[in-house]
Amino acid sequence: MTGRKSKKIRLCIYGALAVLLILIAVFSDRLCPYNPYEQNLAIAYNPPSLEHIMGTDAYGRDMFSRIISGARVSIISTLVLVVIISVVGTLAGTICGYFGGLFDTVVMRISDVFLAFPGLVFALAIAAILGGGVSNAVIALAFVSWPKYSRLARGRALAVKEMTYVKAAKLSGDTPLQVIVRHILPNTIGTMLVTAMLDIGTMMMELAGLSFLGLGAKPPIAEWGSMMSSGRSMLQTYPWVVLSPGLAIFISVAVFNLLGDTLRDYLDPKQN
């Protein structure tokens, strides 16, 4: 169990699983056995069978194909979201920590306000005002989630800035840009990467949650959250319509969470 080698092996396994999920998302068009949007009312609500391994939904659409196709919306938009917030947050935080001054004060006060709001409540409101849709849901979540990264990056930048070698670099004539790129960012990137990895699962769930409430992807778009929402009333009679997209969310979130946890353990030997 212990030891760096076994951690490396686990990291590889979970990494491979995550890459597999991303590949499924990217090539979802070619992987679907049926057209996820083709309706055939004659086979509506068919239970899982060999032909349709996850059954069919209200319009006779193949659930398995819709779930594969939903991977594109759910996974890709989550990854885009996490990349946006981690990059923006890290850059803002690093600049704040390094330069201080007015910019620092302004950005930190803004992030104070965002941190004062309960995140999902605020995201709900923003998504509602922007009027739903996947990209608006991503914007809403990005809006409330970046301060966490800027806080973290600022703290790191403040600590690294005081180190002797950074002072030496400054004395030897490095421009601020050079100092940030060569010395500060390499020291923050590990923490930020782990945070971002651990955030993927949460963000995926929140994005699906917004879609579930009708504030993200809208039907007929195949997206896991909205699929569960539209099948919700059929839980008693046709449970596969509701539970299989839920299982898809669960599996993807679990894979990214495992990857994040392992990466944290791997990069931080102090743990355990």
Partner 1 sequence: MVYIFKRILQLIPILFAITFLSFGMMRLAGSDVVEQKTLNTGEVLSEEQLEMARTELGLDKPFLEQYFVWLSKILKGDMGESYVSGKDVFETFVLKLPATILLTFTSIITTVVISIPLGILAAVKKGKILDSVVRFFSFIGNSMPGFFVSLVLMYVLGIKLDIFPIISKGTGIEAIAMPTLTLAIAMSSKYVRQVRSVVLEELNKDYVIGAKARGVKYSVTLAKSVLRSCLVTIVTLLAISIGSLLGGTAIVESIFMWDGVGKMAVDAINMRDYPIIQAYVMWMAIIYVFVNLVTDITYRFLDPRIRLGEEGR
Contacts 24+ apart (CB under 8 A), 16-24: 17/255, 17/258, 17/259, 18/255, 18/256, 18/259, 21/71, 21/75, 21/252, 21/255, 21/256, 22/75, 22/76, 22/79, 24/68, 24/71, 24/75
**Considering the rule CB under 8 A, would residue 242 count as an interface residue with partner 1?**
yes
**From CA 51, how far away is CA 168, in angstroms rounded?**
68
Cis bond leading into 220, ω under 30°?
Answer: yes
Q: Which stretch binds partner 1 (CB under 8 A): 9-17, 37-45, 94-102, 198-206?
A: 198-206
Among the listed residues 14, 15, 2, 152, the one whose alpha carbon sits nearest the alpha carbon of residue 92: 152
Find the binder of partner 1 among 120, 158, 193, 267 (CB under 8 A). Answer: 120
**Considering the rule CB under 8 A, would residue 109 count as an interface residue with partner 1?**
yes
Nearer to partner 1, 164 or 272 (CB): 272
Q: Which stretch binds partner 1 (CB under 8 A): 33-41, 71-79, 155-163, 235-243?
A: 235-243
Find the binder of partner 1 among 201, 216, 221, 223 (CB under 8 A). Answer: 201
CB distance 61 to 67 below 8 Å: no
Among the listed residues 157, 250, 246, 254, the one whose alpha carbon sits nearest the alpha carbon of residue 198: 254
**Considering the rule CB under 8 A, would residue 79 count as an interface residue with partner 1?**
no
Among the listed residues 149, 139, 131, the one whose alpha carbon sits nearest the alpha carbon of residue 86: 149
Q: Which stretch binds partner 1 (CB under 8 A): 33-41, 87-95, 96-104, 199-207?
A: 199-207
Return the residue matching tokens 């920590």: 97
Nearer to partner 1, 99 or 122 (CB): 122
**Considering the rule CB under 8 A, would residue 129 count as an interface residue with partner 1?**
yes
**Considering the rule CB under 8 A, would residue 250 count as an interface residue with partner 1?**
yes
Q: What are the distances in angstroms from CA 215 to CA 44, 63, 75, 124, 207?
A: 26, 22, 17, 8, 9
Return the residue matching tokens 């306000």: 113
Find the binder of partner 1 among 160, 225, 259, 263 (CB under 8 A). Answer: 225
Nearer to partner 1, 181 or 254 (CB): 254
**Considering the rule CB under 8 A, would residue 55 count as an interface residue with partner 1?**
no
**Considering the rule CB under 8 A, would residue 236 count as an interface residue with partner 1?**
yes
Residues that bind partner 1 (CB under 8 A): 109, 112-113, 116-126, 128-129, 201, 205-206, 208-209, 212-215, 225, 228-229, 232, 235-236, 239, 242-243, 246, 249-250, 253-254, 257-258
